């Protein structure tokens, strides 16, 4: 049961995190989390403000003797990614997350856990409620809609924050400090198709690619995981002519910032080809398992008989869709030449859906180099337009340029080495953090990001390492005690 996590250490953090698991808060629907945070601050008697976008700001005065320290902004985001396995019954708008302890980790049953960024929220609020901590002036900034557009950060009002140091609590490897991040952009294409009547003697089958790990389209893109959209279209590209395959509809992926774990298609074939077609599906499952078995041990590819659809997609549009997906760039485009092991530029072919006469293809591009991001967007636009798609670029957000001379970086490196016996790794993350956007609104902020160890965010395999949460909490407290004077 979820309540068992309240017994973990540190209890103040885990108790708040448990409360968050009981509050539905998918992106753009986190209003109940806004109310929770607002009431949390008000019950403590702290100055609490909710701006017109829904961002929550709670201010806590310095503890006695620390009034001369620089003000710190603890920042996290209120929304979570709503991903679930297809065989899991869960309504993210109404149901709580069923979190549980599994050895050294906390996980959720069949859904995302919400530790991204629930652990950051819990830590920030725990700082507010603890009356025994030593710290200078603190402001907690909790933003909305980070995962689907960083709306809260983009629309954050100017002049609300006084702090000079921003500590983002949205990183996912304990012992690492992040001083920069990639920027991003959404690229989508829409194609129109015509519905054609289905032949009366056709057999209908549902194709299903399932069991992939998926994951965060930035943090996990370099791991070489399978993309369900590409695997499904690859099969259809290879066998369509042999089996007179006609596509009635496709539904692959659900979130632009998650590597697609599942993809489905309804197809029709002549009934006399059914046995050979099923054998071909099995053959391609074996091929995919051979190619991806090391990273995708649970991959399945199945075909099952289904009700015949009323219509199919016209042949020309079907061919365009399948060839488009097979030809689209996907995955790591370039590694950072100056930082070994760090992805510089990538793209995630996240969503492919058909319906109401329209094919919708959505990608999320990331790069720490703005010009490379723009160039990649042009490449995707070229491929999409060759297929006849109308292309839009949206949701562009800037990267966060590293500052190796940052005062808070020097402080936190020193504290970590003193208290934990080693120097933390300093990195740039291939994911979108809100620091760059907030830094534009509040120029001159000294910024850094860190957090506990979280694995497989944006997927139902998401989990947070229990021991790392205690270490993350201790490090946060020691950092606040050692913030430089004004």
- What span, in angstroms and rounded, lies between the C-alpha atoms of 142 and 25? 13
Residue 370 φ then ψ, to 5°: -60, -40
Residues 6+ apart with CB under 8 A from 114: 20, 21, 25, 80, 97, 108, 462
Strands 183-192 and 246-252: unpaired
> What's the Cα-to-Cα distance from 476 to each of 120, 232, 368, 445, 481, rounded to whole Å?
11, 45, 27, 18, 9
Quote the crossing angle between the two packed helices 466-481 and 407-420, to the nearest 10°: 120
Q: Report the alpha-carbon distance of residue 76 to residue 123 in Å, rounded.
A: 9
Q: What is the C-alpha R_g of the chain?
A: 24
Q: At what angle do helices 115-129 and 31-43 cross, to 10 degrees?
A: 20
- Give the span between the Cα atoms of 426 and 330, in whole angstroms: 28
Burial of 447 (0-12, 13-18, 19+ CB in 10 A): buried
The DSSP bridge pattern shows strands 183-192 and 390-397 to be antiparallel
**Per DSSP, which regions of 118-262 are E strands?**
138-143, 165-168, 176-181, 183-192, 195-197, 203-210, 246-252
- Beta partners for 190? 360, 390
Q: Which residues are catalytic?
A: 79, 146
Q: How far apart are CA 221 and CA 344, in angstroms?
A: 11
Give the number of other Cβ atoms within 10 Å of residue 260's Cβ: 28
Bridge-based pairing of strands 446-449 and 183-192 is: unpaired
């Amino acid at each position: 049961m979820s309540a068992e996590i309240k017994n973990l250490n540190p209890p103040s953090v885990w108790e708040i995190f448990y409360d968050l698991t009981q509050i539905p808060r998918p992106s753009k629907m986190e209003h109940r989390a806004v109310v929770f945070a607002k009431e949390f601050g008000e019950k403590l008697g702290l100055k609490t403000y909710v701006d017109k976008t829904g961002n929550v700001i709670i201010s806590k005065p310095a503890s006695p003797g620390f009034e001369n320290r620089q003000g710190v902004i603890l920042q996290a985001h209120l929304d979570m990614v709503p991903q679930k396995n297809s065989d899991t019954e869960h309504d993210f708008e109404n149901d709580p997350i069923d979190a549980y302890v599994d050895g050294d980790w906390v996980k959720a049953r069949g859904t995302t856990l919400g530790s991204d960024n629930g652990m950051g929220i819990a830590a920030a609020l725990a700082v507010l409620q603890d009356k025994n901590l030593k710290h200078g002036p603190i402001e907690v900034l909790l933003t909305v809609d980070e995962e689907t557009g960083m709306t809260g950060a983009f629309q954050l009002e100017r002049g609300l924050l006084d702090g000079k140091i921003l500590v983002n609590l949205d990183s996912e490897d304990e012992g690492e400090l992040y001083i920069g991040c990639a920027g991003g952009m959404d690229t989508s294409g829409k194609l129109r198709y015509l519905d054609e009547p289905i032949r009366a003697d056709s057999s209908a089958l549902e194709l299903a690619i399932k069991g992939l790990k998926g994951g965060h389209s930035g943090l996990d893109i370099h791991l070489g995981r399978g993309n369900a959209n590409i695997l499904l279209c690859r099969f259809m590209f290879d066998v369509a002519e042999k089996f007179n395959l006609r596509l009635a509809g496709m539904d692959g992926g659900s979130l632009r910032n998650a590597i697609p774990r599942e993809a489905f298609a309804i197809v029709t074939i002549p009934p006399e080809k059914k046995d050979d077609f099923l054998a071909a599906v099995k053959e391609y499952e074996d091929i995919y398992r051979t190619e991806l078995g090391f990273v995708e041990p649970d991959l399945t590819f199945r075909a099952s008989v289904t009700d015949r659809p009323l219509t199919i997609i016209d042949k020309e549009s079907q061919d365009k869709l399948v060839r488009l997906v097979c030809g689209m760039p996907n995955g790591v485009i370039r590694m950072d030449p100056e930082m070994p092991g760090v992805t510089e530029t990538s793209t995630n072919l996240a969503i492919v859906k058909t319906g109401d006469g329209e094919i919708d293809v959505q990608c999320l591009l990331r790069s720490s180099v703005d010009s490379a991001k723009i160039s990649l967007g042009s490449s995707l636009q070229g491929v999409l337009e060759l297929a006849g798609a109308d292309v839009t670029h949206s949701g562009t957000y800037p990267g966060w340029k590293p500052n190796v001379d940052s005062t808070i970086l020097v402080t936190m490196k020193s504290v970590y080495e003193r208290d934990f016996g080693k120097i933390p790794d300093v990195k740039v993350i291939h994911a979108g953090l809100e620091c760059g956007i907030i830094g534009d609104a509040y120029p001159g902020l000294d910024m850094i990001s860190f957090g506990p160890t979280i694995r497989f965010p944006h997927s139902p395999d998401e989990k947070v390492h229990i021991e790392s949460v205690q270490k993350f909490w201790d490090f946060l407290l020691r950092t606040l005690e050692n913030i430089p004077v004004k």
